[in-house]
Structure 1
Amino acid sequence: MPRTGRRCRKLQNRTAVRPCRPRAGSGGNGRRRSTGCGGLAAPGARGWQQVEAPYEAARVGVMIGQACRALGDNDGAALELEAARTVFQHLGATPDVSRVDSLLDIDMRPIEARGLSARELQVLRLIASGKTNKEIANELHLSGKTVDRHVSNIFNKLEVPTRTAATAWAYEHRLI
């Protein structure tokens, strides 16, 4: 048993999330700012990777991304969230992919998206991936009529007549 206890403590140490340490800001305003999020919880993510737990490592990545965003590091946040999204997608963790998509849609997309809501952007991405309305409804746990309405709103807001045109617009505007 003591051997198991040591292993557990070792794993806990590897996966511990450590906070950013603020440093004095420049400009003489007396405010403090973060040194960035590069090392925020990297030991935790590495620990999960070392024990071959990609899902948990990706969840830590989402937390790092949210912390980076809260500290104003949008580039770091986007990198962490996109990396986590890739892992979730590879693992087939659809609810987590949707959650990360909504985090990216709501807070990370600086480009003008013609007034599309976060959900409409999510539906647009699924349209662009070739999914039917029924498949989108199943993936997002929505009714078919709700998805039909989102698709109609997307077409109206983008001023496009077809799914193909909406997909082309999304690629042109780097939403995908």
Structure 2
Amino acid sequence: MPDTGKNVTEDGRYEVLEECVIAWYRAGEDALAGGCWQPTLRERCLVGDILKSTIVPTPDEPPYDGEPLWCPLARVSRWAPVFRLASLAGGWDIERNPRPPAGYENMNLRRLTDGLYPFFALIEQCSDLHTGVWQEQSEKSADTRLQELIPSPRTRLRDAERVHIHSITMMLSNVLKTPEG
């Protein structure tokens, strides 16, 4: 089981990664809108698979009232493995040293996933810790532990779903609408 004694938000890591993910999806939007990124056929196919793998099969937008904390945690954390699979299919390694984009002129799917991945990898780490505690104790104690790891987890996961994932999904949907480069 992972070390559950370490606070994954130390040094404001969550906030830094959240700022990076926002900068990256905005750079992706700007690159598409400005014509600097004209997705290749391979990128379009990978984006189609990313969107199919992360869809929430309901007409309503999350979050959903009264659901256990592990539900939004699972929905948000699944983006990390989806990005890893896309990188494998695309033939590149994900860069694990997050930094904001230097601009959007050289945008492509590889750079975009490199920029988006670290935020979701952190949520995945929290999910792994939450699951480990839950399996050993109870869902309530796992939720309590998650609240120690992420300040205001319900709010942060709600924001991740409502704002970040919604924005990323819309931007990726625009990849599919963009003429092939």
Q: Which TM bucket (shorter chain)?
A: under 0.3
RCO greater where, 1 or 2, for CA within 8 Å and sep 6 or more?
Answer: 2
TM-score (norm 2): 0.27
TM-score (norm 1): 0.28
Structure index of larger Rg: 1
